[in-house]
Structure 1
């Protein structure tokens, strides 16, 4: 086993020693399983764990600590909803990868299924945590699965897909991970290696997954992103911005997480609030208005409602016969103009201050949203002639019983 160099950054002390042990365990996992796969892929979201995984592995390859695979494909999941500092850092890291001759495949949902287009163009209400959580699957999981299937079709043999999944110290037993502790044939199912990717039906049997940072503590992730990776010795990566986006040194204490910009599923914009505490990013404050817009568009006066008994394709009666539905055409246009106004306000400040601009809705997406509104597009099962959801109606129950309005 090749030992790591121990310069000043590897000074004695418990924390430094633990960090080198974490890196050594990562090397062991890649040596144990990587050699069995000629082709590697790496799923990268731009977040802390996957960014640490990506930059560490490229550094290990560049310095000869692990063997270079025959092919390496980086898949960047561009949801078009990432917090600006993370999206900006991802673009910088992509440039650094290209300089190394490593191509990054940017994976984005089809135009009509992108978050903004789906809501403002097609009229589907913003996702919620109860009955309509469509966003993660549609803008991240499905596009990534399609990209993997396409890449597999171009290659012979199996592919090792490397992920940034991390369990921390719960994955460590006596300072090492049992090599046999994996999903297939293991009791706990929290090992480094899994033989198949069960979520992707078209990939089953040809795609193994490896989580080489599974055992890393969160403090090691922050340490790598903020202090180690930016140094020339460890790759000269633009990762410090990622750590800062999570709250910098304080993020380690709260085990911070980020989500999408103005995420409708979160009760508070904690990640964005953290970013805005940094004076450099204060000009992004108008992003706070996005969450309020999604809440507004859920209100009854912006939506349609089924007026009576709704029969499904099999002839049965829908469980919620008077459910609220899609967003009105004029409300979608209002939402579009609201988002564009936020974008314009931020970018005018960015240009004035010499800061990065944002891209909430690009020209292609805006054109498609306006086209779908002009075509009076409605989600499947809706015609557009249903009453608005704030219209008083007789109450209809799932068994067909009707309770007339007491007052009109």
Structure 2
């Protein structure tokens, strides 16, 4: 059957209207949904994935799209979300539970959670250059593991639905490929792609679809703030998500969010936008987290490889004398500061009748202290390496050594 498609560039580049964006999403799900008996939705709690989730469930409720044999929602709980986003996510989970929709909370194992990995194991905070480990470890890997486990329980293939969205700029630039699919998908029907997982014999059993790929950002805000909360469209608890991005100003500032105190950004705009709203101003101590991560990357808090290093595969490391893990003193100092920030926020929260935060819970704190007490170091480090502030003869990868001019130590 040939699918009727909307022309993204009709009427001299006229902007797509909300109803047209929804119609393209419906066509996308009608085209590919019925060929997959099981659906899964990857949900981060952010604006795009929350709009995708709430819209799809609404369309299922009113019979606009085919209902799969099973629908599983995977919520990626990184333990680093801004507080209003976390609150909204759990409210939406309540909405889903009322509809009988299964939600699986996906979280990294205890030792690989963000705070435990840094403060317990001693791995430095992530950066954008050589050590961006956070997204993979606390979100992607746990999500893939959960999906693999779910696939092993099911017969038939699965359509994994994501909130990937390229939006208006791609449309204006006439980049029609942004809504073209792979593996035989029709243009304009959403980004459909077959995925071939290597693990656990799951090859060929899963495909992905991004049914909101073509949505403009203003349509996302319109859906979350005005459409989805209405009973007619599902009575969703999505207004709090807009609050997390900057409230009524979110669309104008093209707001984005990240983790609380994200160490990968030059400016913590997400937190700044949040603190500008009177109801969240009590979280101001959170502004101290990002400077702490930057401080922990400094040499006085870390060890350094003293010379050439032979890796497990027998090759020589490309970066001899690189800085490495955090000292035990640095880890405990940082733990005390994070707990003090948490305490300050929660004291203000209790005095104002506002929600409390949970940066490090009791289980995580106990594990951090246990790992430090056990003398735990990251793989490839023994703990007997010199402090990174100690001046050493320079060793190059080819084995050449350049002695210190004066043999001084810092």
TM normalised by structure 2 equals: 0.90
Matches within 5 A, 1:262-277: 262-277=261-276
Would you say the 8 A contact 1:81–1:260 is kept in 2?
yes
Which region of structure 1 is more displaced relative to structure 2, 199-208 or 152-161? 199-208
Matched, 1:348 2:347: yes
Matches within 5 A, 1:86-235: 86-169=85-168, 181-184=180-183, 192-198=190-196, 201-202=199-200, 203-235=202-234
Quote how far apart the aligned CAs of 1:255 are: 2.3
- Name the counterpart of 2:331: 332
Structure 2 residue runs without a partner (length 5+) = 1-13
Distance in 2 of aligned mates of 1:363 and 1:180: 46
Question: Secondary structure at 1:253's aligned position in 2?
Answer: coil
Partner Cα distance (1:401, 1:187) in 2: 59
Equivalent residue number for residue 398 of structure 1: 397
Q: How many Å apart are 1:193 and its aligned residue?
A: 4.2
Matching of residue 47 in structure 1 with residue 84 in structure 2: no
Tell me, yes or no, if the aligned pair for 1:121 and 1:332 is still in contact at 8 Å. yes
Alignment partners' CA distance in 1, 2:169 and 2:208? 19
Greater than 6 Å deviation, 4+ residue runs: 177-180
Aligned residue-pair number? 393
- Contact 2:196-2:205 within 8 A present in 1 as well: no
Q: Which residue of 1 aligns with 2:250?
A: 251
Gaps in structure 1 of 5+ consecutive residues: 1-13
**Stretch moving more, 137-146 or 61-70:** 61-70
CA deviation after TM superposition for structure 1 residue 215, in Å: 1.2
Indicate if the aligned counterparts of 2:191 and 2:213 stay in contact, CA closer than 8 A: no
Q: Is the 8 A contact 2:28 2:189 kept in 1?
A: no
Partner of 2:30: 31
2:262·2:290 contact (CA, 8 Å) conserved in 1?
yes
Q: Out of 163-172 and 388-397, give the one that drifted further.
A: 163-172
Aligned to 2:250, the other structure's residue is in SS state helix
Compute the displacement of 1:194 (Å): 2.7
Aligned partners of 1:183 and 1:39: how far apart in 2?
20
Distance 1:373 1:214 in 2: 45
Secondary structure of 1:252's counterpart equals: coil
CA pair 234-289 structure 1, distance change in 2 beyond 3 A: same
TM-score, normalised relative to structure 1:
0.91
User: What CA RMSD, in Å, does the superposition of the two structures yield over aligned residues?
Assistant: 2.4
8 A Cα contact 1:171 1:214, kept in partner:
no
Give the Cα separation in 1 of the matches to 2:171 and 2:393.
60
Q: Distance in 2 between matches of 1:224 and 1:363?
A: 38
Shift of 1:27: 1.2
